[in-house]
Structure 1
Amino acid sequence: MKSKSKTILYSGFLSGTLDILAAIIIYTVILHQTTAVKILQSIASGIFKQEAYTNGSQMAFYGLLLHYFIALVFAYLYFKIYPYFPILRKSFLLSGLIYGLFVWIVMNLIVLPIVFPKLPPKQFDFPLLLSILILIFCVGLPIAYITQKFYTRH
């Protein structure tokens, strides 16, 4: 990538796409727990609450937009902090793992409990581990790799 903004956009859209595809493939195709529309509506429910489940594809689209907005925010944040933390420059694998865990912590222990105060308590089980792995492999590693590539070239 030649510009900062293109790097952020690329890493944000790539990580957002990988993350939502992983969620859809795992939870709809493999585990048969939900539908793609319901996954996207549940993202939209962070803003629209219960109304998100009443307007079908329109709310699913809003959920997708919100999902990409969140991915772009995390891509932007990583891009901005990268030069100030030497540990991030050591290895994109290590930094991607750390950043994926950071994203999981922010989303699951801060954002979701604020947006949805009545969430059930977290238990260390397979679904929790799966959600962490998805964020490491689909968000942390792609953002770390693309950002490292940008900074090593500039």
Structure 2
Amino acid sequence: MTTHAATFRAPRLHFGPVLLGGLLVGTFDLVFASTWWKIAHDVPPIRILQSIGSGLLGEASFEGGVRSATIGGVAHYFIATCMVLAFALVATRVPALLRRPIAWGVPYGLFLYGLMTYVVVPLSAAAPSKSVNVPWVTASIVVHVLIGVACAFIARRAVR
């Protein structure tokens, strides 16, 4: 008796969509932050990038000009790409994530917000914030939810 077992092929991760997704997610987040802080406090975009760079360089980042802003930009896009990559890697093992990108992307975005706010930034060399800016926190949570959903949709293209 011959049996024909269904051939199972694990989904493969394609890095092109992950890299493009990191670029898109990172740019969306950077445009959001730069626009918010420019409108709210007249902070120039270079200062946003230096602020990101301060996670690696500490307060010296704000005196490093374009060089520290570039370090901040590279770090920012690296983190954005890791966010996309992490969701896509898990989705290769849990394909249900790909079938419901909004349902899974929303909690992923909330997870990313918590991870960045309560783990990554406190462990970095960036100076802790002296106060809570409620409108900024609220907007950041919304943006991270959108980023989580974007990661889920990007993963659909990356995992095949």
**Shorter-chain TM-score: which interval?**
0.7 to 0.9
Letter of the structure 1 residue corresponding to residue 144 of structure 2:
L
1:106 aligned residue:
115
The two structures have a TM-score, normalised by structure 1, of 0.85
Letter of the structure 1 residue corresponding to residue 80 of structure 2:
A
Unaligned residue ranges in structure 2 (runs of 5+) = 1-11
Per the TM alignment, residue 52 of structure 1 is displaced from its structure 2 partner at its CA by: 0.6
- Answer with 1 or 2: which has the greater Rg: 2
1:91 aligned residue:
100
Residues 121 and 93 (structure 1), Cα distance of their counterparts in 2 relative to 1, 3 Å cut: farther
CA distance in 1, matches of 2:64, 2:126: 23
The two structures have a TM-score, normalised by structure 2, of 0.82
* Greater fraction of residues in helix: 1
- Runs of 4+ with deviation above 6 angstroms: none
The alignment yields a C-alpha RMSD, in angstroms, of 2.3
Per the TM alignment, residue 150 of structure 1 is displaced from its structure 2 partner at its CA by: 3.6
CA distance in 2, matches of 1:3, 1:63: 28
1:142 aligns with 2:143: no
Per the TM alignment, residue 66 of structure 1 is displaced from its structure 2 partner at its CA by: 0.7
Letter of the structure 2 residue corresponding to residue 148 of structure 1:
R
Map of 1:21-60 to 2, 5 A cutoff? Answer: 21-28=31-38, 30-60=39-69
Identical pairs, percent: 26
Per the TM alignment, residue 118 of structure 1 is displaced from its structure 2 partner at its CA by: 5.9
Aligned residues: 149
